[in-house]
Amino acid sequence: MRAYLDSLRAAGDLHVVRREVDPKHELAAVTAAFQTRHDGAILFETVRGAPMPVVSNVYGSRRRLCALVGAPDLAFCPAWDRLLARAPERAELQEATAVRRRIALSDLPHVTYFEKDAGPYITAGILLAGHPETGVPNLSFHRAMHVSDGELRIRIGSSHDLTRYQRAAEAKGEALEAAMLIGAAPEIFLAACASIPPDADELAVANAVAGGPIAVTPCETVGLSIPADTQIVIEGRILPHERRPEGPFGEFMGYYVPEEDNHVFEVTAATACADPVYHALVCGSPEDLIPLETAIAAKVYRHLNATLPGIVDVSCNPQLLNTVVKIDKQYEGHARHVLMAAFGAHRDYSKTCMVTDEDVDIHDLNDVWWAFVTRGRADTRSLVVPDVPGFYRDPHKDHWGRLGIDATKPWGREAEFERKRIPGGDAVDLAEWLNEA
């Protein structure tokens, strides 16, 4: 994280706030305002009541995520697919000596984000755990409500791999040992976002991103090894057969998740490197949605490529429940085949799916919708599939059903829909014409 922040600073992508900020609402408010104008990271040097700085929006840029996986053309999904193909079956780890010091959870910035949140939350923590039987490591994001120095309460989604790990431990009446990583290196962050088969090793994905072995060091109180350069690590156990109230909390869809009985994380130790930086992520912001979007899109891309020809790229915007697929259209009805396949690519997402031609910017929904309304009929190019279960947290079935939109050109009439172009328009540097410095 430190090295990555240094690289962002050198590139002009790290903006520094020197005046004191209140971690209750004010830090989130300033971050949200910043994100409307910038895609860089923002570093708060002085946080009231906390002995360490806070950084946010580190991964709130599609441009930077693409650079991390070697996609200069901003086509994340094909680049990510190539990277996964290079990942070893099991992670290559290298034991390293790390100087870490004990801290208390009360030493961390107590960031409270939204008006009705139950209290301070850890939002960028990555839980590292090993399967109780196979030992395969899992990296995943789970919000954590700060209760005391000895307890966090975490939300584990029913469709997450960590749920399988916890249930396997609980079936034996055992706690699941875990370590929460705050401020891990970019390769760990991306690996935690990855959607890979349940028995695959996310640390091996981190290997592929890093281009070499991951340096690790043993935890002090649990039987896990952690990435040695992680800024802050909270060690502990997810207790079996124990659920306590957690929430409400402002989630990624833009609403509050109500108070529910959720898992208890018993803290056994917390450590930090020298001069740590705390990573705070505003849920529902670009730093939350863009990494999740790329992970979901990559999973859909892999599924479609294994099923159909002509898949160019996938995006999930402006919200994770909407999937947009760019294709090289190869036959009449191709787009409808893609829609049907996309519906089955991810059971939690793909509530609505849209298919476009190669000349459409799938990261700009204005462009996608323009293609739909200008390239044919609305009634015959939309598809409704009723009563299909959707997002896992949906007791009232608000996310059931699927809507498909074919925004491609009519088959055999492609020449009629050639987009107009101004020669040289892409090369204009407006600052030169307006005499701007």
The pair of structure tokens assigned to 353 is: 């799916």
Residue 436, pLDDT above cutoff 70: no
The pair of structure tokens assigned to 148 is: 């005391």
The vertex-82 CA angle with 290 and 199, nearest 5°, equals 80
* 293, part of any domain: no
CATH number at residue 255: 2.30.110.10
**Close Cβ partners of 117 (under 8 Å, ≥ 6 residues apart):** 248, 249, 250
Residue 128, pLDDT above cutoff 70: yes
**Close Cβ partners of 88 (under 8 Å, ≥ 6 residues apart):** 204, 207, 208
**How far lies 399's CA from each of 47, 204, 319, 391, 392, in Å?**
39, 34, 13, 6, 9
What stretches of 127-255 show up as alpha helix (H) in DSSP? 161-171, 186-193, 202-210
* Among 256, 286, 316, residue at a domain's last position: 286
* Among 286, 319, 335, residue at a domain's last position: 286
**R_g (Cα) of the chain, nearest Å:** 23
Residue 390, pLDDT above cutoff 80: no
Residues 408-433 pLDDT 10s? 999 999 999 999 889 998 889 888 88
Indicate the average pLDDT of the chain: 91
Closest by CA to 154, choosing from 269, 255, 233, 247, is 247
Q: Rounded distance, CA 364 to CA 372, Å? A: 13
Q: Rounded distance, CA 27 to CA 123, Å? A: 14
* 428, part of any domain: no
DSSP reduced 3-state for 214? strand
pLDDT above 70 covers what percent of the chain? 99
Of 86 and 56, the structure prediction assigns the larger pLDDT to 56
Task: Give me the pLDDT at residue 389, please.
Answer: 74
Q: Does 322 lie in the same domain as 280?
A: no
Residues 93-111 pLDDT 10s? 888 888 899 999 999 999 9
Q: Rounded distance, CA 224 to CA 217, Å? A: 9
* 301, part of any domain: no
What sign results for the dihedral spanned by CA atoms 326, 327, 332, 334?
negative
Task: Give me the pLDDT at residue 73, please.
Answer: 79
Q: Does 339 lie in the same domain as 238?
A: no
Residues 367-382 have a mean pLDDT of 93
Q: Does 340 lie in the same domain as 204?
A: no
Which residue do the tokens 């408010």 mark? 29
Please provide the distance, in angstroms rounded to a whole number, between the alpha carbons at the two ends of the chain. 33
Task: Give me the pLDDT at residue 394, please.
Answer: 66
* 420, part of any domain: no
Length of the chain counted residue by residue: 437
Residues 325-349 pLDDT 10s? 999 999 999 999 999 999 888 777 7
Residue 437, pLDDT above cutoff 60: no
Q: Does 39 lie in the same domain as 116?
A: yes
Q: Does 31 lie in the same domain as 83?
A: yes
Task: Give me the pLDDT at residue 38, please.
Answer: 92
Task: Give me the pLDDT at residue 409, please.
Answer: 96
Give the H/E segment covering residue 208. helix 202-210
Task: Give me the pLDDT at residue 320, please.
Answer: 79
* 294, part of any domain: no
Residues 168-194 have a mean pLDDT of 94
* 113, part of any domain: yes
Contact 163, 138 (CB under 8 A): no
Task: Give me the pLDDT at residue 401, please.
Answer: 77
Q: Does 213 lie in the same domain as 330?
A: no
Residues 256-262 have a mean pLDDT of 92
* 31, part of any domain: yes
**Strand ranges inside 285-337, DSSP E:** 311-315, 322-327
Which residue do the tokens 């009929």 mark? 377
Contact 69, 209 (CB under 8 A): yes
Residue 142, pLDDT above cutoff 60: yes
Which residue do the tokens 């780890």 mark? 93
Q: Does 365 lie in the same domain as 250?
A: no
Q: Does 150 lie in the same domain as 192?
A: yes
* Among 229, 255, 286, residue at a domain's last position: 286
Domain housing 238:
2-286
CATH number at residue 369: 3.40.1670.10
Q: Does 215 lie in the same domain as 155?
A: yes
Closest by CA to 280, choosing from 33, 45, 98, 109, is 109
Contact 353, 361 (CB under 8 A): no
Q: Does 357 lie in the same domain as 211?
A: no
Q: Does 374 lie in the same domain as 266?
A: no
Query: Can you give the pTM of this predicted structure?
Result: 0.88
Residues 70-77 have a mean pLDDT of 85
pLDDT above 90 covers what percent of the chain? 71
Which residue do the tokens 């100087």 mark? 99
Q: Does 232 lie in the same domain as 100?
A: yes
The pair of structure tokens assigned to 27 is: 């830090």
Residue 81, pLDDT above cutoff 70: yes
How many distinct structural domains can be found in the chain? 2
Peptide bond into 78 cis (omega under 30): no
* 349, part of any domain: yes
Residues 133-161 have a mean pLDDT of 90
Which residue do the tokens 């869809």 mark? 253
Residue 208, pLDDT above cutoff 80: yes
